[in-house]
Amino acid sequence: MFKQLVTYLKSVNRIWLLSPFVVLLLAAGTSEVLFQHAKNLDLFAEVVKEVSDYYVDPVSPTKLVRKGIDGMCKTLDPYTVLIAENDITDYRIKTTGKYGGIGVEFGKVNDSMIIMTIMEDEAADKAGIQAGDAIISINAISVAGKDEDELQKLLTGSPGTIVKMVVRRPGTNEIIAKDVLREEVKVKSVPYYGMLNKEIGYILLTTFSDQCSKEVLEAFRNLKKDHPEMKGLVFDLRNNGGGFLNEAINIVNIFVPKDVVIVNTKGKLAESKHVYATLNPVIDASIPVVVLTNSMSASASEIVSGSMQDLERAVVIGQKTYGKGLVQVTKPVSYGNQLKVTIAKYYTPSGRCIQVLDYSHRNSDGSVGKVPDSLKHPFKTKNGRTVYDGGGIEPDIAVAHEKQSQIEQVLERNDYYFLYALTYKRKHSDLKPDARTFALTDEDYNEFVQFLSNKTYDYTSETERQLNVFIQTAEKEKNSEKLKEGIKQLEAQIKSDKAKDLFKHKSAIMKKLNFEVIGLYLKQKGQTENAFLFDTDVQEALRLFSTPQRYESILAGPVKK
């Protein structure tokens, strides 16, 4: 068959289109699958060439092929992607947490690039760059008109090199030039750990990067050493999208003895079928643990929370997790690119796979549906509690969160919380707040409302949308004149209701203001500690720890008759 195919391709003058990869495929065997691979790859190459040669407008073969690859991957799942060579640096930052830079986060505010966050003790912090500074130029290159990606490339580089920054300080409009020495910035997977009170410790894990289990272990050991009275631990996995599977195993191993199966994976290839068990002696097999989750806790976060739940080693508090039960590996491909490809599904100790979407069965429009409740299967935890597959990790104690209001969203989208915080700090420059007790006053809130008086933050409420539909219908039916006066009254009432939204949602808005203000004084650590005051999940965990009998009864499972 191989000779016949080559002869055919020669006859149509297309043998030059065969890549070495295709030739190797053909030479490797004569199966129908290999033939289909070769045929379709050749077809793809031919179409790219013909389009490049004959399409009416200039086209880029590189872009055509990349869009073809991206389109192919999208038919599989959102996690199988080609990582282009120029995106490898960003990918490595996400997986290793390391890069050469100055340690800042920035964003575009009113057409200016503003430093939003300064990482404590990193290069920018040491050089005197402050949150709120507007970046004018980097290494004599104006940042006007540049987007966030372009600015990121200007700031990152080899450790030990200089970044010449010119910034404008908020309030004073003073122009300041700073030479900032790039360093290897290590984005900590555990940005914070500490005590919630005298007896309950807290560890925040934001990503499962390489070696993050060592950070968790160090944090836990330090808490135990510095606070021998510690009787419980809150382990926060909220908004943690996952990462390395082996790091999840190592973290569970801190609380679970050696040789306990934590997860197993099953895929098409033999190499993707594996049973993962704990490898090391346990650090603490008895301390009560609460794991916090929400809808953005995914992948490795679900392995930790799901296995700790299945093994009755922790109580899960918060909201249902994302539902990603798939495993990816990264494979090097041609020209410095990397392919991240899904190779398996993973299963927690009870045997459940929590994958919420079935990408192998799509609807006629290409969309993917969630696993219906009727197709979910029950599984049993170590002590006989019933848990289900196909829908993320259900918390043992669910904590309802109010949906973010439209007024909150529009204020955040326009960076008004942050801009007010800058105004507040200028007015209270000598303030030395305590992160665990600081709270803005009603007077401060009234000042915020006044601050917004000359700002644009309009939005369309659901009532307005429905009214607009009603008006359009009335116009079609030629009833708009009859209803004109009533519509005016409704519009006036809606406008009045929106004006009251700042006070209707005052409590939620105050939390966000507090967060931004304390961040300017005490950076990320202060923000984390201040948030404990308003954190309903943390408060629920503290209530649970205050009643040990309730904690034990949750893990004990059903009463045996």
**Nearest-CA neighbor of 139 among 173, 102, 106?**
102
Give the span between the Cα atoms of 313 and 299, in whole angstroms: 19
Apex 142 CA angle, 137 and 148, nearest 5: 85
Residue 283 near residue 221, CB atoms below 8 Å:
yes
Pair of tokens at residue 120: 């404590």
| Integer CA distances (angstroms), 142 to 3, 65, 145, 164, in order | 60, 34, 8, 12
Task: Give the side-chain half-sphere CA count within 13 A for 49.
Answer: 10
Give the span between the Cα atoms of 72 and 344, in whole angstroms: 19
User: Torsions phi, psi of 327, nearest 5?
Assistant: -115, 135
E-strand stretches of 125-195: 134-138, 141-142, 162-168, 175-181, 183-186, 192-195
| Integer CA distances (angstroms), 6 to 23, 31, 39, 212, 384, in order | 10, 15, 11, 52, 62
Maximal C-alpha separation, the chain: 85
The set of residues, in sequence order, having a beta carbon less than 8 Å from that of 524 and lying 6+ positions away, is: 117, 119, 120, 191, 192
Residue 470 near residue 464, CB atoms below 8 Å:
no
User: Torsions phi, psi of 81, nearest 5?
Assistant: -145, 155
**Nearest-CA neighbor of 501 among 459, 472, 549, 550?**
459
Apex 508 CA angle, 506 and 510, nearest 5: 65
Pair of tokens at residue 229: 């009275």
Give the span between the Cα atoms of 246 and 224, in whole angstroms: 24
104 CB-contact burial (10 Å; exposed 0-12 / middle 13-18 / buried 19+): buried
**Element of type H or E holding 202:** strand 200-204
Pair of tokens at residue 497: 């209701």
Residue 491 near residue 470, CB atoms below 8 Å:
no
Give the span between the Cα atoms of 89 and 63, in whole angstroms: 21
Pair of tokens at residue 17: 């289109």
Task: Say which of 189, 213, 236, 324 is annotated catalytic.
Answer: 324
Apex 79 CA angle, 345 and 314, nearest 5: 50
Task: Say which of 77, 310, 396, 535 is annotated catalytic.
Answer: 310
User: Torsions phi, psi of 185, nearest 5?
Assistant: -85, 125
> Is 52 among the residues known to form the active site?
no
> Is 53 among the residues known to form the active site?
no
> Is 310 among the residues known to form the active site?
yes
290 in helix, strand or coil?
strand
- Pairing of the two strands 112-118 and 200-204: unpaired
Task: Say which of 213, 299, 307, 350 is annotated catalytic.
Answer: 299
Pair of tokens at residue 268: 């098409």
User: Torsions phi, psi of 514, nearest 5?
Assistant: -55, -45
348 in helix, strand or coil?
coil
Give catalytic residues, as residue numbers. Answer: 299, 310, 324
